[in-house]
Amino acid sequence: MNRQVHPDTRADGTYARDQRYLATRITADGRDGYHVEPGRYRLVAARACPWANRAIIVRRLLGLEPVLSMGLCGPVHDERSWTFDLDPDGLDPVLRIPRLRDAYLARDPAYERDITVPAIVDVPTGAVVTNDFRQMTLDLSTEWTAHHRPGAPDLCPHEHRDEIDELNEVVFREVNNGVYRAGRASTQRAYEGAFRVLFDRLDALSDRLARQRFLLGGTITEADVRLFTTLVRFDAVYHDHFKVNRSTLTAMPVLWAYARDLFQTPGFGDTVDLEQAKAHYYRTQPELNPSGIVPVGPADPGWTTPHHREQLGGRPFGDGTPPGPPPPSTEALSAR
């Protein structure tokens, strides 16, 4: 049988994500050549993408909207690049480019790797500074502190940093990327191995969250942001598209209640568009869905129904406060 195989799939059928990113950091001291400066940079994201969704959430929780603008790509792209097709003229209104690829080439005219979101672009030069989504949100929390809103939560508390880093690595390997390792596998053995690892980890996380409201205790941290963006897409996309169908999220009571708790927390659910997520996965991965047909369902399983997680105690924002409503701009979008 002639079948398409994703270029990041190894000879043994396992999926290995290309993690060679532009790792330049934007820091308070500018040690990589880029100082934190209000208005200088633009976050380019897409609501369809779970990795970009992390950056959108963290930016909103920390109240960085006034100092870090955001451009949004549409959910469907071609083999060359994410595009700004949501903007009326097909151009990002700040960068004045039709494709994110243009900003990557402004950084490196010989750039040959994937054009990925999220990316932070230096507006004066039009060049991508970084697309390292792993470090990006940590730096927004720890390097941009002078510009956090009053009441912003501490998403990376120093006393828990080692535990957060360790948990983030496990969740990335076995859940965030775990759904891809199952869905992108090209042999039965590789798929089943990734499937088992994924659900073993989800079961372990369920046990952990049965005892405490959030992953690190009673308040939200970076670790919760990273887990949420996979869970919120699980039933709408991954369960069928990536064949991770042992059970739906809604059939895992603890994780389903935890995901609803976060969804209903300002800064989480109001950044999500599951219709865009479905369009992205089902229309841009022809090796998995040759027809390009986007499923109509599933119906809303009840994201805004009571979750009762408050019975475990804790305060989502600790000593801080929730962010206000999304700004009344093209960035704002009702959650679906």
Which pLDDT belongs to residue 333?
A: 38
Do 236 and 205 touch, CB atoms closer than 8 A? no
Do 36 and 147 touch, CB atoms closer than 8 A? yes
313 Rama sector, left if φ>0, alpha if ψ -120 to 50, beta otherwise: left
Residue ranges with strand state E in the chain: 41-45, 69-72, 119-122, 127-130
Do 40 and 123 touch, CB atoms closer than 8 A? yes
Tens digits of per-residue pLDDT, 181-203? 999 999 999 999 999 999 999 99
Q: Does 328 have pLDDT greater than 50?
A: yes
Which pLDDT belongs to residue 335?
A: 33
216, 218, 223, 229 alpha-carbon torsion, rounded to 10°: 140
CA distances from 305 to 107, 118, 206, 265, 300 (A): 46, 31, 19, 13, 11
Q: What average pLDDT does the segment 209-215 reach?
A: 98
Do 108 and 117 touch, CB atoms closer than 8 A? no
Q: Would you give the end-to-end CA distance of the chain in angstroms? A: 39
Closest residue by Cα to residue 101 from 89, 87, 84: 84
Contacts of 108 by beta carbon, 8 Å cutoff, 6+ apart? none
Tens digits of per-residue pLDDT, 59-76? 999 999 999 999 999 999
User: H/E element holding 140?
Assistant: helix 133-142
Query: Is the peptide bond between 118 and the residue preceding it cis, with omega within 30 degrees of 0?
Result: yes
Q: Does 126 have pLDDT greater than 50?
A: yes
Do 318 and 219 touch, CB atoms closer than 8 A? yes
Which pLDDT belongs to residue 239?
A: 98
Looking at per-residue pLDDT, the higher value among 329 and 319 belongs to 319
For 214, list phi and psi in degrees, rounded to 5.
-125, 175
Percent over 90 (pLDDT), the chain: 90
Q: What is the CA radius of gyration of the chain?
A: 19
Give strand pairing partners of 120. 43, 130
Domain boundaries, the chain: 158-312
Is residue 6 very low, low, confident or very high in pLDDT (cuts 50, 70, 90)?
low
Looking at per-residue pLDDT, the higher value among 45 and 9 belongs to 45
What burial letters (b/e) apply to 46-78, b meaning 16+ CB within 10 Å?
Answer: bbbbbbbbbbbbbbbbbbbbebbbbbbbbbbbe
Q: Does 3 have pLDDT greater than 90?
A: no
Average pLDDT, the chain: 94
Active site residues: 49, 180
| CATH number for the domain running over 158-312 | 1.20.1050.10
Tokens of 280: 């992205």
Q: Which long-range contacts (CB under 8 A, 24 or more apart) does 100-109 make?
A: 100/44, 100/73, 102/126, 103/44, 103/127, 103/128, 104/128, 104/131, 107/22
Length of the chain: 336
Q: What average pLDDT does the segment 233-251 reach?
A: 98
Q: Does 79 have pLDDT greater than 50?
A: yes
Q: Does 2 have pLDDT greater than 80?
A: no
Tens digits of per-residue pLDDT, 277-307? 999 999 999 999 999 999 999 999 999 999 9
CA triplet 90, 93, 97: central angle to 5 degrees? Answer: 55
Which pLDDT belongs to residue 179?
A: 98
Q: What average pLDDT does the segment 22-35 reach?
A: 98
